[in-house]
Each structure stands twice: as C-alpha cells, then as structure tokens.
C-alpha cells in the first residue's frame, strides 16, 4: 500500500506545484498588462521610476545623501493614471536645449519638475514662452530646502542667473526629517551663511557607472524583489493589512508642520537666508513663492520669512484646493492649467521687476 501511495503523493505534489507556478505566471502576466487592477496605489508603487533601482531615474551620492537625476535620460513615467516623458539634459535636469547661462533658475519639488505633465506643460517651459527668458528648471521630485540649498550652491556659478525662484510646498517640512537628523538640522542652523559647506560631490559619470554595476551584481532574490509584480503585490497586500515590513528608507516623523519654532522650520528659514546670501553674492535676486493650497498657516509662515529677509514674495493665493481645474484628478499635482497659473504669476513679477534683460532687450 505504501509503495502505491508514495508515487501518487509525489505526482499530486508535482501537480500542485505546477499549478501554483502556472497560476503565479498568469497572475504576473495579468499584473504587468493591467497593474491598475489593484488600484492606483499599487500601480503607482509598481510602475514608479522615482527610484535608484533598475529602470529608475535617480542615482545616489552617499556622501551628500542626495539623489540626482541621471543625465541625458529619456523614459516614460507613470503616476495615478497619468503618463509623461521624462527627459533630462547633460546636467541631469528637466530642461531641453541650451540653457547655460540662464536668466532664471527654478528651485522646487515635483510641482515644478512637472510631475504628470509633458515638458511643454511645465512651469519652466511656460515661463520661457511668456517672457522670452532662458529658464533652468532645477526642480526634482521629493526635494525640499535641504537639496535646494545644495543645488543652488553647486549650480549658481554654472547658470549665472538674474533671478532665482524658490518654491516651498506643504510637505517640505516633513521631508526635511526624512533626510536629516536633529543634530544635522541644528548644525546647519548654527552655521553662518559664509561657513556653510557640503561634502565634495562624486563625479556623476562615475556614480552612474557604479549604480549600473550594482544593478548587474544583484542576487536572484534581489532581482525578483525588484522585477516580479507578484512580489510587489505581496508587499502591497502586507501594507494594506498593516503588516508592512521595515524598509531601508528613513521613516517620516509625526510632526506639527505648522510649528514655526520646530527645527525644520528654523532650518528652512536659515536655508532661505543662505540662498539669499548666495544669490546676492552672484548678483541674482532670490524670489520666494509658497504653493500651499491646503494650508494657509504655512503660506503665512513662508511669507513672513520672505518679509524678514526683505525678499519678494509671490502672491499664489489664487492656487486654492477648491479650484479643481488647477490640479490633476486623483493625484493633486498641478494640472496644465495650474502650471500655467504658476508661470503667469512668476512672469508677471519678472516683467514688473526688470523690464529689460541682460542684453538690453525688453522682457516679453
């Protein structure tokens, strides 16, 4: 009897294993074709290219603790049902054509980068069309005062602009805690503007090569974790059930984002002063704007910082959450109309503040 049962048990196990593998293969194929079957949250995580992993648009400089966009990269992006072409210049920014030197530098996060929008719909391109000025868009997804202060330090001598426009967004305060410890925040706040220094940046070409080499050296398990949609589904299910495993990225703290006495707000204030120091030394004017459609308290705090430093503050109060035409549906980033509104606001200020460009030509 045992001799008869053992082969049957073995056959049954093989059939079950084969059925499971076939089922997983079918599920993998279905999720690859239709990742939105599990909703936007899963599709955003599965298809996002805001990563340093294979297919992502970033590489990381460990000494600076900053992600940089890969230069000369063109790829299709996805988020919340929207698709757009991501295209970077030789410096790793979302610019097209020659913008060195530039009349205007834009510093901001995904709102200014142009998340969900084609290049022709971004604030930078629209501002160029409205004014005739050359515009260097240095904004990247996830940036806050930490990255923006560094980018201005690194690229102000490269672009030699007349204006630097700094855009604050509602999550910039919590983002600081994701990148810096209390000690690092305090050290920056305590540093005089002239004494602020950053670690030397690694050569971008070498950093991109190292990223590619690390990708090629992945173990089969690492490959599966990054590439298989069924594994992404498993992680998503754990997250949905509250069983999400710990991840390597720093966890955001639960903080009062409206507390102007917090380290993050004091850091932001000091960073604005530092950016003013850099801009003034280079003969450029720093301009401050706050995109806070759901938080009037933060709008007032940023306005007060600009006032205390004697900086121009752009009136973006018309960008309200109540006006749905200004925001991408189910996403919250500026729509083409929202980007146009922002560009109009900046253009109006630039025209009013200086009617002629550096070559004696009138700003359009």
Residue 307: which CATH number? 3.40.50.1110
Residues 12, 146 share a domain: no
Residues 99, 155 share a domain: yes
User: Is 55 among the domain residues?
Assistant: no
Collect contacts of 97-100 with beta carbons under 8 A, ≥24 apart. 99/134, 99/135, 99/136, 99/159, 100/136, 100/158, 100/159
Residues 145, 256 share a domain: yes
Overall number of domains in the chain: 2
Residues 96, 270: Cα–Cα separation, whole Å? 32
User: Is 131 among the domain residues?
Assistant: yes
Residues 76, 16 share a domain: no
Residues 119, 29 share a domain: no
User: Is 54 among the domain residues?
Assistant: no
DSSP calls for 125-155: HHHHHHH---EEE---TT--HHHHHHHHHHH
Q: Which residue has the tokens 């005739």?
A: 132
User: Is 349 among the domain residues?
Assistant: yes
Which tokens go with 167? Answer: 């855009």
Residues 168, 22 share a domain: no
Residues 2, 148 share a domain: no
Q: What angle do CA 283, 284, 287 make, to 5 degrees?
A: 150
Cα 346 from chain centre: 21
Q: Residues 6 or more apart from 17 whose CB is under 8 A from it?
A: none
User: Is 241 among the domain residues?
Assistant: no
Give the CA-trace dihedral at 225, 209, 145, 127, to 10 degrees: -110
pLDDT at 18: 73
Q: Which of the residues in the chain have pLDDT under 50?
A: 245-250, 358-361
Residues 257, 321 share a domain: yes
Residues 195, 294 share a domain: yes
User: Is 265 among the domain residues?
Assistant: yes
| Residue span of the structural domain in which 9 resides | 1-33
Residues 158, 309: Cα–Cα separation, whole Å? 25
Which tokens go with 116? Answer: 């969900």
Residues 316, 182 share a domain: yes
Residues 79, 8 share a domain: no
Strand partners, 66: 61
pLDDT at 115: 98
Residues 34, 47: Cα–Cα separation, whole Å? 11
The pLDDT tens digits for 106-131 are: 999 999 999 999 999 999 999 999 99
User: Is 323 among the domain residues?
Assistant: yes
Helix count (H) and strand count (E) of the chain?
A: 13, 8
Q: Which residue has the tokens 């000369």?
A: 72
3-state helix, strand, coil in the chain (%, to 5): 50, 15, 35
The secondary structure element, H or E, covering residue 110 is: helix 110-113
pLDDT at 233: 75
The pLDDT tens digits for 35-83 are: 877 778 888 888 899 999 999 999 999 999 999 999 999 999 999 999 9
User: Is 40 among the domain residues?
Assistant: no
Residues 158, 22 share a domain: no
Which tokens go with 114? Answer: 């142009």
Residues 37, 29: Cα–Cα separation, whole Å? 12
Residues 234, 241: Cα–Cα separation, whole Å? 11
């Amino acid at each position: 009897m045992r001799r008869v049962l053992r082969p049957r048990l073995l056959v049954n196990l093989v059939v079950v294993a084969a059925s499971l593998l076939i089922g997983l293969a079918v599920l993998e194929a279905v999720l690859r074709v239709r990742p939105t079957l599990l909703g936007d949250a899963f599709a955003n995580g599965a298809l996002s290219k805001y990563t340093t992993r294979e297919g992502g648009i970033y590489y990381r400089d460990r000494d600076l603790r900053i992600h940089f966009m890969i230069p000369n990269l063109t790829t299709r992006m996805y988020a919340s049902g929207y698709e757009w072409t991501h295209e970077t210049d030789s410096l790793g920014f979302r610019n097209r054509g020659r913008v060195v030197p530039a009349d205007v530098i834009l510093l901001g996060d995904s709102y200014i980068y142009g998340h969900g929008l084609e290049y022709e719909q971004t604030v930078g391109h629209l501002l160029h069309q409205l004014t005739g000025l050359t515009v260097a868009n240095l904004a990247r997804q996830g940036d806050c005062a930490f990255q923006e202060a560094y980018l201005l330090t690194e690229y102000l001598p490269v672009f030699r602009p007349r204006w630097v426009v700094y855009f604050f967004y509602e999550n910039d305060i919590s983002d600081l805690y994701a990148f810096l410890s209390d000690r690092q925040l305090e050290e920056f706040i305590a540093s005089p503007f002239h004494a602020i220094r950053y670690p030397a940046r690694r050569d971008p070409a070498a950093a991109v090569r190292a990223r590619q080499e690390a990708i090629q050296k992945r173990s089969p398990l690492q490959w599966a974790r990054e590439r298989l949609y069924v594994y992404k589904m498993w992680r998503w299910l754990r997250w949905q059930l509250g069983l999400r495993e710990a991840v390597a990225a720093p966890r955001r703290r639960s903080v009062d984002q409206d507390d102007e006495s917090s380290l993050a707000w004091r850091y932001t204030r000091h960073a604005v002063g530092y950016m003013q120091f850099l801009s003034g030394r280079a003969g450029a004017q720093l301009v401050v704007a706050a995109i806070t459609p759901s938080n009037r308290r933060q709008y007032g705090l940023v306005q007060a910082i600009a006032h205390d430093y004697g900086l121009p503050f752009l009136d973006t109060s018309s960008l309200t959450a109540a006006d749905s035409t200004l925001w991408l549906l189910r996403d919250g980033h500026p729509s083409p109309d929202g980007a146009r509104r922002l560009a109009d606001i900046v253009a109006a200020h630039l025209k009013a503040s200086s009617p002629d460009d550096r070559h004696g030509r009138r700003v359009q």
